[in-house]
Amino acid sequence: MSFAADSSRIIPTELREEISRSYLEYAMSVIVGRALPDARDGLKPVHRRILYAMYELGLTSDRPFRKCARVVGEVLGKYHPHGDSAVYDALVRMAQDFSMRHPLIEGHGNFGSIDNDPPAAMRYTECRLQALATEALLQDIEQETVDFVDNFDGSQQEPLVLPARIPQLLLNGASGIAVGMATNIPPHNLGELVDGLVALIHHPQMSDRELMRYIPGPDFPTGGHILGQGGIEEAYTTGRGSMTLRAVATIETLEAPGRQPREAIIITELPYQTNKAALMEKIAELVNEKKIEGIADLRDESDRDGIRVVIELKRDAHPRVVLNNLYKQTPLQVNFGANMLAIVNGEPQLLTLKRSLEVFLRFREEAIARRTRYALRKAEERDHLLQGLLVALANLDAVIQLIRSASDTALARQQLMQTYALSEAQADAILQMQLRRLTALEAEKIEREHAELQRQIADYRDILAHRQRVLEIIEKEVTELKAKFATPRRSRIVQADGEISDIDLIANDKSVILVTQQGYIKRMPVDTFEAQSRDGRGRKGAEIKEDDAVEHFFSCNDHDRILFFSDRGLVYALAAYQIPSGSRQARGTPIVQLLPIPREEKITSVIAVQEFSEDEYLVMLTRKGFIKKTPLAAFSHIRSNGLIAISLEEGDQLRWVRRTREQDTIIIGSRQGMAIHFRASHDQLRPLGRATRGVKSMNLRPGDELVGMDILPAAIANRFATPSEDDSGEIEDSEETVAHSEGPWVLVITTNGYGKRVPVQQFRLQNRAGMGITATKFKAKSNEDQLAALRIVNAGDELMIVTSRGIIIRQKVMDISSQSRSATGVRLQRLDEDDAIVTAAVLPPGSMEAAAD
């Protein structure tokens, strides 16, 4: 053949157009023919072909198992011209109860495990259809309910779609990656899907959100928790959404003979598609790398009854913190990205919940209509023959004579058709009628069958004429399937935030925070300081420089919000756990590294807040004695660069801040040992905004200054009489009465290390801005001893006293004597010559143990 003759058959084509067209054809072939499920039966072609091939082989649930290799060979040879591993993998997945919410194939043998163990070779395993697959997907397939097309070589016919009776697309979900698109549809509960479908039949105008009353969310085969409904609602209303799945874990105490009880985290359900073996490897890796602490042992106690992973904890571990770390760093918590993409009318479409049910409902209506038309045609054909037989029975002798006189069958058929106006089919039926059908009993049966067929034909025509009848049939069929195959929901939808924040990974331990005058801060566990007896030397709490001293010392929980008030009247905020932890010998971290404050600005008061209550206030007291009450809620959102807390006049400073309620009372002490006690009610101290100055708190003597402030709770404050402006008056209680007082008390501590408990009843209520009354007498008539701290304490409280050199002593309040206001107190701490008490912090009962909240 010459080149000229051959070149005449070459078609010139633009390369760009050819590549574009070929790639588009390939992409659509993958999208429609391989990767995405059909919205009508919810199946991909490979799954559909496997189920149909098994149906043709007669592998129903009431028949014996057959080798999977036989099924794979049938599928490859007739319908699916691809690799055998692709077919076998698809078959295996349809038999795994941890992959499918309702498996469609019943497997016999090793079909893999949740540990990602591979299934046995197909020559070893056996399979058959589940009853659900037969009744819900393949029923009526031989009644022309769906279209059939040629297979790959035209030698066989295969169904284009299966006549599904339930929305299989949502029931078992689907996942697949096509060209330029992917699908990931979660599985759902059969009973809920049926309820939603029935509701949609009765109320077609329902919205996606209204359907969620019947279908609240996915139901995964492995159970677990779904956190919140935000992601579910987004997926149902838009077709795309992210859901947070979390394992089911409980904290138990394990007891065994010969060993101490230990707490353990027990995992009984895993998120969907989580590999248990890989999960345990990940946990072990994190423990070895010390990224998760507190785990002593890890073992898998799972068996045929279910999953049980035991994570045994160390004695000092906090179970909730360890569990939150596991959620954060391991597949115990995962995100499921729903992408509800399926083939509708030959094109990929993103489906909402309602849209997917509507597509199925429309398909089911068409399938029932086609099934009814098929049944109608068969009934009419049969009735047509019966009508011919009835004609023959009515003219039995003449028909017999006509047949006997005919020379052959063709002539007899023709004469019957001409004589009695019969069709060819009716004439053939008469000629083929057996003699036993001529008895009276058989004639009566034909009459009854004809009447029944007439009723059926009328019913079929009524169904085809009225859509409501079709919908009633759909409802009846799905309700029967629900009664037979529905199971309880496995996945629980819990109202929780799936995001694990930093605070969830921190134990809510009780700590003490120490701030020095030069602006160093550190956090220490409260059990760093063991309780000592009165008159002890104490323990060093910080490495204090010679020109520095402890300024603030208080207890809190690590989850508390710490408010820092500066002398300029500004407030800053940090979480307690954000303050670096240090040892007793550590100096601490410069506070300017944690807060955006100028070096010349000084923190004068620190408040720990667990919750910003609406009925609580902050009382602020300045160096010049101005006091102000502002709602605590006003400080719930503090900017990173701080917030104005109080307006100060020239030369004044904010010094003390305390939390209070309106019914509480306030007690303020001065350096010269005076104290004033008044109510925090609105008539004495009305609430003011942040940018205000306040009112006068106490009338000070010349040379005196304020030393502190504390709050007396309302339950105690209500015992007092009406306020009096009289600042004089002697103490009425005897020393014996004072010694046996049940509290609470005003704890008075002087700079020289002396202290006492004074019953609060000795500090009568006065009006604000008075002179106050004497709180204590000093040991020496000199300026060396002054009032250092004034605190409200109760029985069971503990005290931490801090000196200017950073020496800290911890002791029980009840070890300090109860004395009157006129007493000088007892020695609380022995001090070095150049040391003095600067402050004291009160710890609530139970602080001896650094227990987590």
For residue 528, what pLDDT band results from cuts at 50, 70 and 90? low
Q: Which residue has the higher pLDDT, 731 or 409?
A: 409
If asked whether residues 728 and 676 sit together in one domain, one would say yes
Mean pLDDT (whole number) for 240-264: 88
* Cis peptide upstream of residue 744 (ω within 30 degrees of 0): yes
pLDDT value, residue 852: 31
Compute the distance between CA of residue 543 and CA of residue 563 in angstroms, rounded to an integer: 24
Mean pLDDT (whole number) for 23-48: 81
In angstroms, the first-to-last Cα distance of the chain is 93
Domain count for the chain: 4
If asked whether residues 388 and 283 sit together in one domain, one would say no
Mean pLDDT (whole number) for 771-776: 90
Lowest-pLDDT choice from 97-111, 169-183, 723-737, 740-754: 723-737
For residue 429, what pLDDT band results from cuts at 50, 70 and 90? confident
Mean pLDDT (whole number) for 245-252: 91
- Written as one letter, the residue type at 660 is T
Mean pLDDT of the chain: 86
Answer whether residue 212 shows pLDDT above 60: yes
Report the CATH number that the domain containing residue 299 is assigned in CATH.
3.30.1360.40
pLDDT, tens only, 129-148: 999 999 999 999 999 999 99
Report the CATH number that the domain containing residue 675 is assigned in CATH.
2.120.10.90
pLDDT value, residue 529: 58
Q: Which residue has the higher pLDDT, 501 or 214?
A: 214
For residue 714, what pLDDT band results from cuts at 50, 70 and 90? confident
Q: Answer yes or no: is 68 within a domain.
A: yes
Lowest-pLDDT choice from 86-95, 254-263, 775-784: 775-784
If asked whether residues 728 and 589 sit together in one domain, one would say yes
If asked whether residues 696 and 834 sit together in one domain, one would say yes
Domain end marker among 331, 354, 383: 331
Domain end marker among 470, 485, 500: 485
Range of the domain at 282: 248-331
Lowest-pLDDT choice from 92-96, 372-376, 439-443, 784-788: 439-443
Q: Which residue has the higher pLDDT, 562 or 255?
A: 562
Domain end marker among 129, 146, 163: 163
pLDDT value, residue 829: 87
Q: Answer yes or no: is 720 within a domain.
A: yes
If asked whether residues 756 and 658 sit together in one domain, one would say yes
pLDDT value, residue 849: 39
Phi/psi at 340 (5° precision): -85, 70
163 neighbors 137 (Cβ within 8 angstroms):
yes
381 three-class SS: helix
> And the tokens for 593?
């590294």
Mean pLDDT (whole number) for 22-35: 70
pLDDT value, residue 853: 33
Q: Answer yes or no: is 30 within a domain.
A: no
Of 108-112, 253-257, 512-516, 636-640, where does the model show the most confidence? 108-112
Lowest-pLDDT choice from 24-33, 430-439, 587-596, 707-716: 24-33
Compute the distance between CA of residue 843 and CA of residue 330 in angstroms, rounded to an integer: 38
Let me know if 520 is a catalytic residue: no
If asked whether residues 531 and 469 sit together in one domain, one would say no
> And the tokens for 255?
């007891």
Mean pLDDT (whole number) for 19-29: 73
In the block, tokens 């497997």 appear at 107
46 three-class SS: helix
Q: Answer yes or no: is 213 within a domain.
A: no
Sign of CA pseudo-dihedral 726, 730, 733, 736: positive
Share of the chain above pLDDT 90, in %: 48
If asked whether residues 578 and 473 sit together in one domain, one would say no
pLDDT value, residue 641: 83
Q: Which residue has the higher pLDDT, 843 or 642?
A: 642
If asked whether residues 595 and 690 sit together in one domain, one would say yes
Mean pLDDT (whole number) for 263-277: 93
If asked whether residues 434 and 524 sit together in one domain, one would say no
In the block, tokens 């058989």 appear at 442
The CA distances from residue 163 to 59, 143, 173, 251, 367, in Å, are 18, 10, 17, 48, 7
Report the CATH number that the domain containing residue 406 is assigned in CATH.
1.10.268.10
SS (HEC) of 425-483 = HHHHHHHHCCHHHHCHHHHHHHHHHHHHHHHHHHHHHHHHHCHHHHHHHHHHHHHHHHH
> And the tokens for 643?
């917030």
Write down the catalytic residue from 124, 460, 572, 754: 124
Q: Which of 542, 197, 252 is nearest to 364 (CA)?
A: 197
If asked whether residues 649 and 696 sit together in one domain, one would say yes
Q: Answer yes or no: is 616 within a domain.
A: yes
Q: Answer yes or no: is 194 within a domain.
A: no
For the whole model, what pTM was predicted?
0.68
pLDDT value, residue 6: 52
Answer whether residue 504 shows pLDDT above 70: no
Q: Which residue has the higher pLDDT, 534 or 475?
A: 475
Q: Answer yes or no: is 69 within a domain.
A: yes
If asked whether residues 473 and 513 sit together in one domain, one would say no
Q: Which residue has the higher pLDDT, 810 or 47?
A: 47
Mean pLDDT (whole number) for 187-208: 95
Q: Answer yes or no: is 824 within a domain.
A: yes
pLDDT, tens only, 655-693: 999 999 999 999 999 998 999 999 999 888 999 998 898
pLDDT value, residue 459: 94
pLDDT value, residue 352: 95
For residue 783, what pLDDT band results from cuts at 50, 70 and 90? low
If asked whether residues 413 and 527 sit together in one domain, one would say no
pLDDT, tens only, 311-320: 999 888 888 8
Lowest-pLDDT choice from 121-125, 267-271, 639-643, 741-745: 741-745
pLDDT, tens only, 361-389: 999 999 999 999 999 999 999 999 988 88
For residue 719, what pLDDT band results from cuts at 50, 70 and 90? low
